[in-house]
Amino acid sequence: MARRNKRLGEYRDKRIFDKTPEPSGAARRPKKRAASAKAAGNRFVVQEHHARRLHWDLRVERDGVLVSWALPRGFPDTPDENRLAVHTEDHPLEYLAFEGDIPAGQYGGGKMTVWDTGTYEAEKFTADKVVLRFDGERVHGRYALFQTRDSDWLIHRMDPPDAGRDPVPEDLVPMAATLSTLPRGDGGWGYEIKWDGVRAIAYGEPGRLRLVSRNLRDITTQYPEVGPLARDLGARHVVLDGELVAFDPDGRPSFQRLQPRMHVKSESEIRRRRQDTPVTYVIFDLLYVDGRSLLGRPYQERRSELEGLDLSGPSWQVPAYQRGEGRAFLAASRERGLEGIVAKRLASTYQPGRRSPDWLKVKNVRRQEMVIGGWVAGQGRREGELGALLIGYYADDDGEPRLRYAGKVGTGFDATALRLLREKLEPLRTDESPFTGRQPQKDAVFVEPKLVCDVEFSEWTGSGTLRHPSYQGLRDDKPATDVVREVG
């Protein structure tokens, strides 16, 4: 006769065993184990559960069942952080080895795999507190699970961090490339597309992903479609470098197309814009993975480890890079109508916040960031509207950064861009010119130099202004004082 454990009633009530591959817990009484079987009665398993929300299920053998907790963010790495542990129903012992796909619509629907397994020693096991010492391949050492006043449970790591584990680098400012031409000998270089979007560092940990712009602003909520990348990362701790890109109908990255996503704050507008202007996180560097900082490792090694993560999803990708043959790569980018390419020295380390000659940006079109210092009114069809922006860049003047006038840009605007610019510029009006030295025309309206825009142009004139400039869009990820004239 099959022996049924009364503690499994809740487990069985939640499942229809004709529709789920999970064990019912109605197994026959197991044969008596040999006295030498050290695992008897003290086994544990951790299962990675890709349900509606990714989480990890911790199950420990106790009194003939598996006492279970769901860990939405996995195990804490240090004693400094407690993480949520949701106490769930007891599971049958057969669940120690269970892996499979629970059908959608069934309780716990989703793929479940064994993430770790081993044995444990119980130092304390009461109704509201459990202290265990784990001996598994991934989970080892002492942890406490305890119930809080509001009936939630938390899991706490009692041991110090693992020896030799590097701390996660925080507040990383992305490494930048220097405007240049192709390197003379390209055997030691790798080549990537220059993605025309918004730079973002991604901090990934179990169950959570955070996106941070290059001016250290948290932009996670602006791009919710990238959030599910956390599921693809699983239990890994990573720091990634990449670009948030909006593609046009021909598959080309478009900074102008990205504009509506960059300046939206309300949740309802973000949801709407997500549908009509989806964004992809293009990942091109791996800076940290599972306790190891890769900042000091060569670019080619970082790329190899990044590709080994096999990250691919509806809103994220890891495009391949090309070793050598930069001239052909640049020509192919020009044929596709792309902005240009980036050459990266294969042996180069990652240097946060530095514009390094180890990374070179080679452009098919001339383009750079500019600071908006004012505007002039429109004429003709644009009468009553903004006619042209007055732009400049910062240059060193006796040790002080001063804004130099670089001309005006009066093309590249559509109605949406003009409306956004007026909304942003009106509150910044000022009576004094922000420019040092050469000044714009007398009917100019000046503003505090806080806004940064992208401008495409044909060349610099001898007097230091842009020839044939065209407005490409506003940037909100770079301080105005960091905008300098790029020479290359």
CB 340 within 8 A of CB 360: no
Q: Which residue bears the tokens 């530095």?
A: 354
- For residue 393, the cross-strand partners are 404
Give dist(CA 343, CA 128) in Å, integer.
58
Terminal Cα-to-Cα distance of the chain (whole angstroms)? 83
d(CA 358, CA 222): 32
- Over its C-alpha atoms, the chain yields an Rg (Å, rounded) of 29
Q: 222: how many CB neighbours lie within 10 A of its CB? A: 23
Residue 313 CA to residue 330 CA, distance in Å, equals 27
d(CA 78, CA 84): 14
Other CB atoms within 10 Å distance of the CB of residue 430: 13
Tokens of 329: 């790569």
Nearest partner of 49 among 27, 24, 25, 22, judged by Cα: 22
Burial of 298 (C-beta count, 10 Å sphere; 0-12/13-18/19+): middle
Looking at residue 28, its amino acid is: R
Q: Check: CB of residue 330 under 8 Å from CB of residue 341.
A: yes
Catalytic residue among 14, 111, 129, 194: 194
How many C-beta atoms lie closer than 10 Å to residue 8's C-beta? 20
Percent of the chain that is helix, strand, coil (3-state, to 5): 15, 40, 40
Distance CA 223, CA 162 (A): 34
**Residues 298, 302: Cα–Cα separation, whole Å:** 6
Q: Is 194 a catalytic residue?
A: yes
What are the residues whose beta carbons fall under 8 Å from the beta carbon of 245, sequence distance 6 or more?
195, 196, 197, 253, 258, 279, 280, 281, 282
CA dist., res. 318 & res. 313, Å (int): 10
Which residues have a catalytic role annotated? 194
